Amino acid sequence: MAHIYLDNAATTPMAKPVIAAMTEQMEQDFGNPSSTHWFGRQAHTVMDASRQVLAASINARPENIQITSGATEANNTAITEVAHANRDKGNHIITTAIEHPSVLKPLAQLEKEGYDVTYLPVDEAGHISLADFDAALDDRTILVSVMTGNNEVGSVMPIQAIGHRLADHQAVFHTDATQAYGLLDLDVDALGVDLLSVSAHKINGPKGIGFLYRRAGVNFPPLLRGGEQESKRRAGTENVAAVAGFAAAVKLITPQEKADRQAKYLGFKQQIQDSLRGAGVDFVVNGTVEAGALNHVFNLWFPGVSTYALQTNLDLAGFAVSGGSACTAGSLEPSHVLTAMYGADSPRIAESIRVSFGKATTTMDIAQFIQALIKIVTRLRAKAAK
């Protein structure tokens, strides 16, 4: 049985050029970048060249790129350390109700420490209101953390508008750009962000590597303490091969490639919707397929069909989809994103699946998926009606 992968919001397969770049580094430039001998200098050169590639991808300077183990570390560093470093200026933080757990959990810890956190609500499309943001912002606000694009429904937040509002404010502005990176054009100056988090494995790069962009002048102590790597901002021997693989993945994503992927994924969404309607299958889109969405994420509600049953049957048929964020897949807790959008009593929370597309997804993959989806939904509904 062939298996078709439609869970690219969780992770993506490494591209062949990425594997080749990493293999070359593991075989040749295995030295410690902090060592002063020839082997160390070779590894340091790879780090410098890769950092330039990563910086250019968001219109930043190389010295403002801090290598991390991924977006979780980057988010934790940005939120926890900025809050602690600015406690004398205030104790108020603004975020949204649909952030990734790697943002929400550090914020929950800060609340226990006495910080006041405002969680902006979202509408049924997964968007915040700028009026709500304006009402929440005050002289006590020291940090704003708003994701660029949501990992469960694909909603895109008004990052540039928030950046403009904070231009003359003391608050440090952080965005988790993990899902948007590689699909949207991200320019840190145009967006007005001070901190930006990214993870390589969402763009066909290796797992366990990411970066935190830190605007010059935004100072806070390191989360990890030890050696003096990353200009004393993040201790630990650098994973040179993974950094090289990250850069190789970034090189594959040209501005035209971003536009092509967004158009391709939008076509997949339309293909699925048209086919389901044509087959008379009852469904509703969670979020929106209009402007203001990441097209690789498609969240669908099938009334009367449990998420668990649908996901399990699709898996048995050879199709990998998700019931929500991969980071909470083993939890019995309902999706906090769908809960924020539709309310805790909405049946959507237990009857929705997330389908997410990637570079390798084909029209034939989608056609086969649709055929299986229609068959399984119809069978499950018939079984429930007996």
In the chain the first and final C-alpha atoms are separated, in Å, by: 30
Q: Which residue has the tokens 């391709």?
A: 264
Scanning 196-344, the segments in alpha helix (DSSP H) are 229-232, 240-251, 255-278, 307-316, 336-342
Nearest to 146 by CA among 108, 81, 193: 193
Strands of the chain (E only): list them: 4-5, 65-68, 92-96, 116-120, 141-145, 172-176, 195-199, 210-214, 284-286, 297-301, 319-320, 352-356
Closest CA to 145 of 203, 190, 100: 100
Contacts of 171 (CB under 8 A, 6+ apart): 94, 137, 141, 142, 143, 144
d(CA 117, CA 137): 11
Smallest Cα–Cα separation from 294: which of 214, 186, 166?
186
Apex CA 135: angle with CA 130 and CA 141, to 5°? 100
CA 207 vs CA 13, 20, 130, 236, 260: distances in Å: 10, 15, 34, 17, 25
By the 10 Å C-beta count (0-12 exposed, 13-18 middle, 19+ buried), 238 is classed as buried
Which amino acid, residue 246?
A: F
Amino acid letter, residue 233: R
Kindly name the residue from 184, 327, 372, 380 that is annotated as catalytic: 327
Question: How far is CA 231 from each of CA 34, 77, 119, 227, rounded to the nearest angstrom?
Answer: 11, 15, 34, 10
Written as one letter, the residue type at 253 is I
Tell me whether residue 190 is one of the annotated catalytic residues: no
Query: Residue 275 to residues 198, 269, 372: CA-CA distances in angstroms?
Result: 35, 10, 12
- Residues annotated as catalytic are 327
